[in-house]
Amino acid sequence: MALEIQENLRKYCVLTEDGASVDKFVCPIDGCGFSTKLGPGALRMHLILRSDPTIEGRYCEVHERFCSAHSDELGMNVVRYLNSLPRVEVD
Protein backbone atom coordinates (compact mmCIF):
# COMPACT_ATOMS: atom_id res chain seq x y z
CA MET A 1 0.00 0.00 0.00
CA ALA A 2 1.40 3.38 -1.04
CA LEU A 3 1.88 6.04 1.59
CA GLU A 4 -0.32 9.08 1.14
CA ILE A 5 1.47 12.39 1.69
CA GLN A 6 0.02 15.86 1.24
CA GLU A 7 0.73 16.89 -2.37
CA ASN A 8 2.63 20.06 -1.46
CA LEU A 9 4.96 18.13 0.88
CA ARG A 10 5.95 15.25 -1.41
CA LYS A 11 8.95 17.20 -2.66
CA TYR A 12 10.59 16.75 0.76
CA CYS A 13 10.32 12.93 0.82
CA VAL A 14 11.81 9.95 -0.97
CA LEU A 15 9.75 6.84 -0.39
CA THR A 16 10.98 3.29 -0.01
CA GLU A 17 10.81 1.05 -3.07
CA ASP A 18 7.42 -0.34 -2.02
CA GLY A 19 6.11 3.18 -1.31
CA ALA A 20 4.95 2.26 2.18
CA SER A 21 7.24 4.57 4.15
CA VAL A 22 9.64 7.50 3.88
CA ASP A 23 13.21 6.40 3.15
CA LYS A 24 14.76 9.85 3.55
CA PHE A 25 14.00 13.53 3.54
CA VAL A 26 15.55 15.64 0.78
CA CYS A 27 16.14 19.26 -0.07
CA PRO A 28 13.86 20.10 -2.99
CA ILE A 29 16.24 22.64 -4.52
CA ASP A 30 17.75 21.45 -7.80
CA GLY A 31 21.45 20.75 -7.49
CA CYS A 32 21.57 20.87 -3.69
CA GLY A 33 21.72 17.14 -3.08
CA PHE A 34 21.12 17.32 0.68
CA SER A 35 19.32 14.31 2.11
CA THR A 36 18.91 12.94 5.61
CA LYS A 37 17.45 9.96 7.39
CA LEU A 38 17.50 11.87 10.69
CA GLY A 39 14.05 13.34 10.13
CA PRO A 40 12.22 16.38 8.86
CA GLY A 41 13.65 18.59 11.61
CA ALA A 42 17.14 18.10 10.17
CA LEU A 43 15.86 19.06 6.73
CA ARG A 44 14.19 22.16 8.17
CA MET A 45 17.46 23.18 9.85
CA HIS A 46 19.34 22.67 6.57
CA LEU A 47 16.92 24.99 4.77
CA ILE A 48 17.02 27.62 7.52
CA LEU A 49 20.82 27.62 7.79
CA ARG A 50 21.35 27.80 4.03
CA SER A 51 18.89 30.71 3.74
CA ASP A 52 20.51 32.88 6.44
CA PRO A 53 22.53 35.68 4.78
CA THR A 54 24.43 36.38 8.02
CA ILE A 55 26.30 33.07 7.67
CA GLU A 56 28.47 33.75 4.62
CA GLY A 57 29.99 30.27 4.37
CA ARG A 58 26.60 28.54 4.18
CA TYR A 59 24.37 31.16 2.61
CA CYS A 60 22.65 30.33 -0.66
CA GLU A 61 20.36 32.84 -2.36
CA VAL A 62 18.34 30.04 -3.99
CA HIS A 63 17.63 28.51 -0.57
CA GLU A 64 16.61 31.94 0.76
CA ARG A 65 14.17 32.48 -2.10
CA PHE A 66 12.75 28.98 -1.64
CA CYS A 67 12.27 29.49 2.11
CA SER A 68 10.56 32.83 1.54
CA ALA A 69 8.19 31.34 -1.03
CA HIS A 70 7.45 28.22 1.05
CA SER A 71 7.51 29.60 4.58
CA ASP A 72 4.12 28.03 5.32
CA GLU A 73 5.67 24.59 4.69
CA LEU A 74 8.63 25.10 7.01
CA GLY A 75 6.86 25.45 10.34
CA MET A 76 6.78 23.07 13.26
CA ASN A 77 3.31 21.74 12.36
CA VAL A 78 4.63 20.47 9.03
CA VAL A 79 7.68 18.95 10.76
CA ARG A 80 5.35 17.16 13.17
CA TYR A 81 3.19 15.93 10.28
CA LEU A 82 6.19 14.60 8.32
CA ASN A 83 7.62 13.07 11.47
CA SER A 84 4.37 11.19 12.05
CA LEU A 85 4.66 9.37 8.71
CA PRO A 86 6.05 5.83 8.77
CA ARG A 87 9.74 5.93 7.89
CA VAL A 88 12.89 3.89 7.81
CA GLU A 89 14.60 4.31 11.17
CA VAL A 90 18.31 5.01 11.51
CA ASP A 91 20.10 2.27 13.41
Task: Say if 89 falls within a structural domain.
Answer: no
Task: Say if 20 falls within a structural domain.
Answer: yes
Task: Say if 51 falls within a structural domain.
Answer: yes
Q: Is the pLDDT of residue 36 over 80?
A: yes
Number of independent structural domains in the chain: 1
Q: Residue 89 — very low, low, confident or very high, per pLDDT cuts 50/70/90? A: confident
Task: Say if 66 falls within a structural domain.
Answer: yes
Q: Count the neighbouring beta carbons within 10 Å of the beta carbon of residue 91.
A: 4
Q: Residue 91 — very low, low, confident or very high, per pLDDT cuts 50/70/90? A: confident
Residue numbers of the domain that contains 26: 7-84
